């Protein structure tokens, strides 16, 4: 079985891998490269790496205040590295991290309930506010009106 390491070291993150992978998902396919990069820069990120090559093969991102709230999102594993427990290891690393461990952790998923329930997550109703459309003449980055009705919140 292949060996992997998980790290929060920002310098190891392969942004092109992250952008390419997220753009291929149903939950983040409408995000611009700029939005993905900005979200990575503003979050606590976990990378999974093949131990023999150092290749970036998995990712998880957390938005947190470090005290009361954490949102686990953008969890994925490269298809060539699935079925080795790497998604589970990413979730375990996130939940054990000192900035996350004592917070309430939330996430949204359309298809991975079983994975997250193994770690104590329970199904719970959430509401969301879509990204508002830009005001006329507003050139605010990320204020793309096509994104206001994007996919449901998800973390795979």
Per-residue model confidence as pLDDT tens digits over 134-155: 888 776 555 444 444 333 344 4
Least confident interval from 31-35, 62-66, 137-141: 137-141
Considering Cα of 30, then 49, then 4, then 8, what sign does the dihedral take? negative
The predicted structure's pLDDT at residue 120: 83
Mean pLDDT of the chain: 87
**Mean pLDDT along residues 52-62:** 96
**Mean pLDDT along residues 46-68:** 96
Domains, the chain, in order of start with CATH, read 4-147 (3.40.630.30)
Residue 25 has pLDDT above 50, yes or no: yes
Percent of the chain clearing pLDDT 70 (strictly above): 87
**Strand partners for 106:** 71
The predicted structure's pLDDT at residue 60: 97
pTM for this prediction = 0.81
The predicted structure's pLDDT at residue 140: 53
Cα angle at 71 between 144 and 62, to 5 degrees? 90
Residue 70 has pLDDT above 50, yes or no: yes
- Among all chains, which residue has been given the structure tokens 């050139």? 139
Residue 58 has pLDDT above 60, yes or no: yes
- Calpha distance 151→130 (Å, rounded): 10
The predicted structure's pLDDT at residue 154: 43
Per-residue model confidence as pLDDT tens digits over 81-127: 999 999 999 999 999 999 999 999 998 888 888 888 888 888 887 77
């Amino acid at each position: 079985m292949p060996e992997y390491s998980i790290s929060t070291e920002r310098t190891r993150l392969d942004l092109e891998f992250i952008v390419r992978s997220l753009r291929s998902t149903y939950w983040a396919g409408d995000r611009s490269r700029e939005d993905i990069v900005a979200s990575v820069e503003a979050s606590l990120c976990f990378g999974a790496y093949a131990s023999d090559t150092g290749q970036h093969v998995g990712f998880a991102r957390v938005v947190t205040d470090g005290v009361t709230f954490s949102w686990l999102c953008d969890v994925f594993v490269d298809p060539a590295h699935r079925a080795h427990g790497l998604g589970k290891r990413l979730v375990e690393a996130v939940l054990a991290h000192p900035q996350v461990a004592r917070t309430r952790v939330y996430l949204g998923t359309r298809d991975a309930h079983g994975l997250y329930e193994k770690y104590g997550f329970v199904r719970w109703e959430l509401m969301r506010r879509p990204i508002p459309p830009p005001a006329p003449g507003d050139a605010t980055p990320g204020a793309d009106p096509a994104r206001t009705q994007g996919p449901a919140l998800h973390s795979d």
